Amino acid sequence: MPMTTFTSRELNQDVTRAKKAAADGPVVITDRGRPSHVLLSFEEYRRLTGQRRNIADALAMPDTRDDDFEPPRVTIDARPADFS
């Protein structure tokens, strides 16, 4: 899988070329000569992160909160306001 490098300026001048390059492999975007971002195709991103579900699937997941969590009680004493 080839890796392509674009400067920030090159990316701004030719986004279409960067998107086409991302179809073949990651595109490293540099800022002042240092790598700052990576452009991936969405399919490659999903493959790397293992995200195969959509928002409807995520919302349909059962609630997995731990109901045993009991935060400590805090007592706040009220004081009269001083408007002087």
Model confidence over 4-63: pLDDT tens digits?
A: 999 999 999 999 999 999 999 999 999 999 999 999 999 888 888 876 667 776 677 666
Q: What's the rounded Cα separation, in Å, for the pair 1 and 48?
A: 14
Overall number of domains in the chain: 1
Q: Is 73 within the bounds of a domain?
A: no
Structure tokens at 83: 């408007």
Q: What is the CATH number of the domain that holds 45?
A: 3.40.1620.10
The pTM of this model reads 0.57
Domain boundaries, position 31:
4-52
pLDDT higher than threshold 80 for residue 67? no
What are the residues facing 37 on neighbouring strands?
Answer: 29
Q: Is 38 within the bounds of a domain?
A: yes
